[in-house]
Amino acid sequence: MNTNTVKKSLKDSVITRWAMLLLVGFVLAANYYFYDALSPLKSTLTKEFGFSNTDFGLFLSVYSIPNVFLLMAVFGGIILDKLGIRRTGFMFVAFMAFGALVTAYGASDMYSNNGVGYAFMSSIFPGYSPELKMMLLGRFLFGLGAETSIVVISKIIVKWFKGKELALAFGVKLGLARIGSALAFYLSPILIKSETGWTTAIWFAAFFVTSSLLVFIIYMMFDLKLDKQVKPDNSVSESNEFHISDITDLLKNRSFIYVTLLCLTFYSAVFPFFSFSADFFLNKFNLTLEQSGKISLLMPLGTVIFTPLFGFLVDKYGKAATLMIYGSLILTMVHLAFAFTTLSPYVLMVVLGIAFSLVPASMWPSVAKMVDEKRIGTAYGFMFSVQNLGLWAFPLLTGVILDYTNVEGVKPIDYTYSMVMFASLGILGFIFALLLKREDKLSGYGLNLPSNSK
């Protein structure tokens, strides 16, 4: 690769690299939309299929099973580093789309009227409804594709933006993902009232994900072109071979361990809470589903503004390690306020949006400073697998706590104990963020330095 070729490559065109970000951002938005689309439907699922709080928690957490117990996010990362962006991305976005369609099918009349698989699902685990089981299968397949495709997209961003506006690009990409989440909380309560039936909300989500597969194919064409410009078009190079030492090296890196533990605790206090949030507001403040959905969406909407902003500030001024500490602290305070006060949920959700921008905008670009670009897929994959342990355990635990601390069928549902659990996770995150900052002084990765100084 000579310097002239690099200068002329596609990624040196500002317009092209930001257009690539929009393409993959669409895929991410569809992914997040589907992840959250059923959260505002918790009470509908209880009414239609008799879902308990624990069933709902189970449905949320099954997303993470392939990533934790089959280590799919790690293998996905390894496959990514080995097979490359295009093949891995296509395969996992396709899994995501298939899983989304299976979930929608599981909730449909077509399935309940003795459709394909209904008899089989009725014959196994009779304690659970056939609808729940098919939907669990769909969400499992969706999760299998979704996490690895996030790793793929992260690598795409590093590929196009490293040495340029990396943290800003990560911020904008996350902003697009969060628009997907916000849209889900806005549209699902509306779509359940549609003339075509409440399942329209799920089918819409499934078709959104399916359309993102087509968008990814468009991205693949540009990716191919870039590869032809910046490196010889031969297959997998020696340096892309996976070695077990890639993982053991990561495990020996204290900064990486702390950032992974922060990722586990911080995200466990955010995503599972967010999935229950519409139901929480509905019960605590006696609101309608549409009203509570609109409060929930303030958090992702806030992050659409704040994440790119903090990404830009991290690029320019650094301080990533410090911002992770502030983010964890704010998160803890908000959960305590939810548990013990009646402060305005509108204000608290916006403040939570600030916390949920500070940490991701600082954390993900920091990993790119600790790990060689060739191993970034493995590193993100490993972090996702550990994080998914929390995304598996805490929604389930939330459901169990709710069923345990509330009398079945009695409204409003009391969320205090679940909120204390989320606040405790915030405190753990705060401790790991402090340790990370202390470690950075020894490791010299320069997490508190501006992006382009590394």
Ligand X SMILES: NCCCC[C@H](NC(=O)[C@@H](N)CCCCN)C(=O)O
Q: Pick the closer one to ligand X by CB: 366 or 418.
A: 366
Binding of residue 370 to ligand X (CB under 6 A): no
Q: Pick the closer one to ligand X by CB: 130 or 300.
A: 300
Q: Which of residues 381-400 bind ligand X (CB under 6 A)?
A: 384, 387
Question: In whole angstroms, what is the distance from residue 371 CA to residue 381 CA?
Answer: 12
Q: Is 246 exposed, middle or buried (0-12, 13-18, 19+ CB in 10 A)?
A: buried
From 47-55, 131-139, 147-155, 253-261, give the range in contact with ligand X by CB under 6 A.
147-155
Question: In whole angstroms, what is the distance from residue 346 CA to residue 139 CA?
Answer: 30
Q: Which of residues 245-274 bind ligand X (CB under 6 A)?
A: 267, 271
Binding of residue 32 to ligand X (CB under 6 A): yes
CB 82 within 8 A of CB 240: yes
Q: Pick the closer one to ligand X by CB: 378 or 387.
A: 387
Q: How far is the CB of 37 from ligand X (least distance, A)?
A: 11
Q: Pick the closer one to ligand X by CB: 156 or 325.
A: 156
Q: With CB under 6 A, what is the number of residues at the site for ligand X?
A: 14
Q: How far is the CB of 387 from ligand X (least distance, A)?
A: 5
CB 173 within 8 A of CB 97: no
Binding of residue 81 to ligand X (CB under 6 A): no
From 89-97, 221-229, 380-388, 441-449, give the range in contact with ligand X by CB under 6 A.
380-388
Q: Pick the closer one to ligand X by CB: 121 or 183.
A: 183
Q: Which residue is nearest to ligand X (CB)?
A: 154
CB 382 within 8 A of CB 247: yes
Question: In whole angstroms, what is the distance from residue 315 CA to residue 130 CA?
Answer: 50
**285, 291, 297, 299: CA torsion to nearest 10:** -30
Q: Pick the closer one to ligand X by CB: 318 or 395.
A: 395
Among 41, 80, 150, 330, binds ligand X (CB under 6 A): 150
Residues with Cβ within 8 Å of 270's Cβ and at least 6 positions away in sequence, in order, are: 331, 352, 356
Q: How far is the CB of 241 from ligand X (least distance, A)?
A: 23
Other C-beta atoms closer than 10 Å to the C-beta of 48 total 16
Rg of the chain (C-alpha set): 21
Q: Which of residues 395-454 bind ligand X (CB under 6 A)?
A: none
From 125-133, 146-154, 346-354, 392-400, give the range in contact with ligand X by CB under 6 A.
146-154
CB 376 within 8 A of CB 369: no
Binding of residue 306 to ligand X (CB under 6 A): no
Binding of residue 147 to ligand X (CB under 6 A): yes
Q: Pick the closer one to ligand X by CB: 86 or 139.
A: 139
Q: Is 288 exposed, middle or buried (0-12, 13-18, 19+ CB in 10 A)?
A: exposed
Binding of residue 35 to ligand X (CB under 6 A): yes
Binding of residue 154 to ligand X (CB under 6 A): yes
Closest CA to 86 of 216, 280, 264, 240: 216
Q: Which of residues 173-202 bind ligand X (CB under 6 A)?
A: 174, 177
Q: How far is the CB of 7 from ligand X (least distance, A)?
A: 27
Q: Pick the closer one to ligand X by CB: 182 or 413.
A: 182
User: Prior bond to 365 cis, omega within 30?
Assistant: no
From 207-215, 276-284, 379-387, 420-428, give the range in contact with ligand X by CB under 6 A.
379-387
CA distances from 33 to 145, 184, 292, 332, 375 (A): 14, 5, 17, 26, 29
Question: In whole angstroms, what is the distance from residue 257 CA to residue 250 CA?
Answer: 8
Q: How far is the CB of 173 from ligand X (least distance, A)?
A: 8
Q: Pick the closer one to ligand X by CB: 130 or 272.
A: 272
CB 289 within 8 A of CB 390: no
Q: How many residues does the chain have?
A: 454
Question: In whole angstroms, what is the distance from residue 368 CA to residue 377 CA?
Answer: 10
Q: Pick the closer one to ligand X by CB: 35 or 59.
A: 35
Q: Pick the closer one to ligand X by CB: 96 or 289.
A: 96
Residues lying near ligand X in the complex (CB under 6 A) are found at 32, 35, 147, 150, 154, 174, 177, 267, 271, 360, 364, 380, 384, 387
